[in-house]
Structure 1
């Protein structure tokens, strides 16, 4: 949805994910030019490779939206070292690498927009998502530091913090919780919706609204914008 929104606004959109098939599907729905660049962003060499291909085709990246993410849903004492590290790599280290690669060209041009899709889990603690919560707290801290460093350069850096969104990631979360607890998936999904005062899951286009605002405004920077139906008031 974010890619479609930016494409409709006139941006050329480069897409990256591990699944080439998913990239092809998304690219086929965009209204403007696109590049599909399969990559695993947790691979230290992948970021430079993706940026090199974009720059060769179109020049420096002007708008960077960092939306890769996943969650491990289990009690903290059950999280393995491998699961902990994988959450940090995907949700925190991969955005850091991409930001580090994009910022110099943005500063040189005097304009850039960076938006990290974080989570309300980056602002509060919830049971059974310790590794995810820690990584998202870190992502918001990264955004705040980068925005402070870049405040006078024309480059803005923000986080968008969704609550529970109606996406495949939430579907997977529901399935894992059901497997662990034995509760019906429909009941779990409803319980997630009920955590939000609006009593429903957030729609993907509502997250895209916040991303688009961050791209449009030069005065919004260093923020972690909640899109959560009023769950976290800040």
Structure 2
């Protein structure tokens, strides 16, 4: 059966890989970019989902990051990361869950991060907002328990995306390393020893969104090669 799948931040990186995977499975996919819907704006989110109609799968993938020591972290960066990574997931999830519950079927999958489980240096806003995204998922899952709707999250380590490329450039600029060495330093942060590919994250998202995954609710799948074991 063809499903309607909404992927926020769906035009590049992880989101594009997720959208491509669902499209390959024959689903109707709406890959949402900022021009389509501002996930941080309540009215924009409501109008978008009113136009979209019933949603079978929501993938909360829109995200931003910034990196700086706590003392140099700005309130602007903090607010932006919370607005996109946490509030955006909240608004989109709130928009689709009532309809899913009425139909007694649906999947919400949030793309969080290993930073949703542990703290990393120089990422106060990002880590805090990803913890919030995971907490949101768990609270929603508790409300959905016993229904045909589930909420789960995937928590990857660094993924080969434009966001990670920017992090690599920042490390190279600040440390004087070459970009290859900076990438190796990021890769070494997880036992996997390399950057994840977007398609690997898409596989985990599709797994949690499968009809056969109805018994999985309130869980996170960590993609880091075994460093975080829950």
1:176 aligned to 2:170?
yes
Structure 1: gaps spanning 5 or more residues:
20-37
1:223 to 206, 209, 219: 219
1:15 aligned to 2:26?
no
Give the root-mean-square deviation of aligned CA atoms. 1.2
TM-score (norm. length: structure 1): 0.87
Aligned residue number for residue 54 of structure 1: 52
What CA distance in whole angstroms lies between the structure 2 residues aligned with 1:140 and 1:188? 28
SS in 2 for 1:45: helix
Aligned residue number for residue 125 of structure 1: 119
Superposed CA offset, 1:4-50 (max 9, x none) = 1111112100111125xxxxxxxxxxxxxxxxxx2322223221121
Preserved contact between residue 163 and residue 231 of structure 1 (Cα < 8 Å)? no
The number of residue pairs the alignment matches comes to: 212
What CA distance in whole angstroms lies between the structure 1 residues aligned with 2:152 and 2:50? 24
Preserved contact between residue 39 and residue 88 of structure 2 (Cα < 8 Å)? yes
What CA distance in whole angstroms lies between the structure 2 residues aligned with 1:104 and 1:70? 27
Seen in structure 2, the aligned counterparts of structure 1 residues 176 and 49 have a Cα distance that, compared at 3 Å, is farther
1:202 to partner: Cα distance = 0.8
Aligned residue number for residue 39 of structure 2: 41
Aligned residue number for residue 4 of structure 1: 20
Superposed CA offset, 1:159-207 (max 9, x none) = 1000011111111111222233333221110111122222111111111
SS in 1 for 2:67: coil
Preserved contact between residue 202 and residue 229 of structure 1 (Cα < 8 Å)? no
1:211 to partner: Cα distance = 0.6
Aligned residue number for residue 92 of structure 1: 86
Aligned residue number for residue 106 of structure 1: 100
Bigger RCO (CA 8 Å, 6+ sep): 2
Superposed CA offset, 1:189-230 (max 9, x none) = 011112222211111111111111101110111001101122
TM-score (norm. length: structure 2): 0.89
Structure 2: gaps spanning 5 or more residues:
1-16
